Structure 1
Amino acid sequence: MGTIRFLGGIILLLSTMTFSYAWNSVGHRIIAQIAYNHLSKGAKRDFNHLIHSMDREYRPQTFVNASVWLDGLRAQDVNWYNTFHYIDWFFSEDSSPLPSTQQINALWAMQQAIKTLKSNKASDFDKGLSLRILIHVAGDIHQPLHAASRVSHQHPAGDLGGNLVELGKNEVGNNLHQYWDKGAGFLSGQRHYNRQQIIELANRIEQQFPCNPKRMDLSPEHWAKESHQFAKNFSYNLKPCTVPKQAYQDRAIQISKERIALAGCRLAAMLNEIDLNLKKPSY
């Protein structure tokens, strides 16, 4: 992995872990499918090439399936990417002092990935790695609990984005973070979806939330701030050990669908913009 130059020298900073992944694999694949639907012809060609530039080192992936690659590393006991998945913007409802936000976080990861993709010197392998990170983290940052952590007397270091908030018995998740990773149940169907099923799920979401890439906000910081506000103003409106009521679940599902739609459309807009100035891969 010596070629991963932009990641060098930071392993010691990345010891903090969360207990959940973010949108589950279905959510990430839907986001990537929506993005792929709206890539230009040239962007599809260039980014498909970069995705496959890593095939010698890793199992070959399509653009859509590469969206879950970063999560798959954890199963291989590769944990030094863990803080790429979230940004802990802390808040408190009981005036507890707030810890400092970690410098190596989702926004940092996206900034570095974008910088590498735009570089005229980076190799196709490095750009392929950066693309896989960007596809995944752009999805993560739209999950409200990946941009917030509540600090309290009980949890003075934060509740790990709701991972420490246990819920009453329900069919979706054991804790608040897991509940939202599964889109409040929207993403809790069958375990495995084939390519056509992901396409159909993406199309259904786009029917409800149409995508216009030319009108998208391309600021990851703005995306994360939106998620933070959703977390503070809605996601955390559950007392520990309670079962989410139907009204909460219905609203959470609607928010999840909208965030997934926005993540995919914004990712497409960002990649189309990057591709305009991309040094063309060495086909």
Structure 2
Amino acid sequence: MKSTYSKILLLACMASSIYSYAWGLTGHRIIAEIAENHLSGKAKREIRKLMGKERLAYWANWPDFIKSDTTGTWKQASMWHYVNVDPQKDFNTFEQHLKAQAGPNLYTQVKTLSNQLKNKNTSEKDKKTALIFLIHIMGDLAQPLHTGRAEDLGGNKINVTYFGEKTNLHSVWDGKLLDSQKYSYTEYSKLLDIKSKDTVKQIQSGTFEEWLYDSHTIANTIYAQTPEGSKLSYDYQYKFNDTLERQLLFGGLRLAKMLNDLYVS
């Protein structure tokens, strides 16, 4: 799998103008690095059996790299990275609409991957693949527009400019806001991962559905404050920097919680 990864990484670099990667390379690595810092001893041991000595951040972007694969092997995985739900008045209504959707999507696939990892009959190879996808997709969950609206493909059809460059709303949130900070993923993870144990526990509380709703409500705020044709620059960075950093931190801590729960003794 490692040699396959290297080949696909090269293809991904060549095709970077075609594909949009959630959080970019840096964001997914930040989330994975924060998660690794909060793994239980049991989770660390079980994950090491599958991943060896490589850190979670090493594999965090693989599910995006394989979008460049031309064999069609991973074509079905493209829908695992997002779930679209129209704005709802409250959590209960949101949850009803979420559960009524036919899969596969981010919501259904996280559950499927979790079940594969818990199933004793799943091969070690398939467990490793499931874990890699889970690390990535839980990162996608924290990018608000991956819980956006179907009508505009999570902001992909909302045209804006970012410091004068023509782009779209989804792309701004996938990487441009984060890349503007100029931190490496290790620097940013250290800067963000400073909360007390009580605060971490609070962030990790709630259900998976509630985490999705949390991200979805933020997406609604982004939509409201970034209409078609918006000209974005320093003021937009200032307005949403706290939200950006919140989502990266929450994504990492909640990924850790999910992995720890999967490997409870």
User: TM-score normalised by the shorter chain: which range applies?
Assistant: 0.7 to 0.9
Shift of 1:187: 2.8
Secondary structure of the structure 2 residue equivalent to 1:217: coil
Per the alignment, residue 179 of structure 2 pairs with 187
Superposed CA RMSD: 2.8
Task: State the Cα distance separating 1:91 from its structure 2 match.
Answer: 4.1
Distance 1:132 1:245 in 2: 34
> Is 1:117 the counterpart of 2:117 in the alignment?
yes
SS state at 1:167 partner: strand
Q: Is contact 1:70–1:136 with CA below 8 Å preserved after alignment?
A: yes
Q: Does 1:139 align with 2:132?
A: no
C-alpha deviation, 1:248, in angstroms: 3.1
Uncovered stretches (5+) of structure 2, i.e. residues with no partner: 2-17, 89-96
Change (3 A) 1:30 1:226: same
Distance in 2 (CA, whole Å) between partners of 1:234 and 1:65 is 30
CA distance in 1, matches of 2:102, 2:232: 31
Which is bigger in relative contact order (C-alpha 8 A, separation at least 6)?
Answer: 2
Match of 2:13 in 1: none
Cα distance change on mapping 1:76 and 1:188 into 2, 3 Å: farther
Of the candidates 268, 272, 281, which is equivalent to residue 256 of structure 2? 268
1:200 matched to 2:187? The reply is yes
Q: Distance in 2 between matches of 1:205 and 1:132?
A: 23
Deviations 1:4-59 (A, max 9, x none): xxxxxxxxxxxxxx96321111000000000001112332121122135xxxxxxx
Find the aligned partners of 1:250 and 1:236 in 2 and give their Cα distance. Answer: 17
Aligned residues: 234
Q: Which runs of 5+ in 1 are unaligned?
A: 2-17, 53-59, 93-97, 150-156, 278-283
- Residue matched to 1:29: 29
Of 209, 213, 216, the match for 1:228 = 216
Q: Which residue of 2 aligns with 1:108?
A: 108
Say whether 1:174 aligns with 2:167.
yes
Do residues 242 (structure 1) and 230 (structure 2) align? yes
CA spacing shift, 1:180–1:267, aligned 2, 3 Å: same
Q: Indicate if the aligned counterparts of 2:19 and 2:67 stay in contact, CA closer than 8 A.
A: no
Show the 5 A alignment for 1:245-256.
246-256=234-244
Choose which of 76, 80, 99 in structure 2 pairs with 1:80. Answer: 76
- Greater Cα offset, 34-43 or 135-144: 34-43
Moved more, 128-137 or 116-125: 116-125
Deviation at 1:214, TM superposition (A): 4.0
Change (3 A) 1:252 1:49: same
Higher helix share: 2
Q: 1:258 aligns with which of 246, 252, 257?
A: 246
Distance in structure 2 (CA, Å) of the matches to 1:51 and 1:71:
18
Q: Which TM-score applies when normalising by structure 2?
A: 0.78
Tell me the CA shift for residue 169 of structure 1: 4.6
What secondary structure is seen at the aligned counterpart in 1 of 2:241? helix
Q: Percent identity?
A: 30
Partner of 2:93: none
The structure-2 alpha-carbon separation of the partners of 1:271 and 1:231, relative to structure 1 and needing over 3 Å to count, comes to: same
What amino acid sits opposite 2:51 in the alignment? I
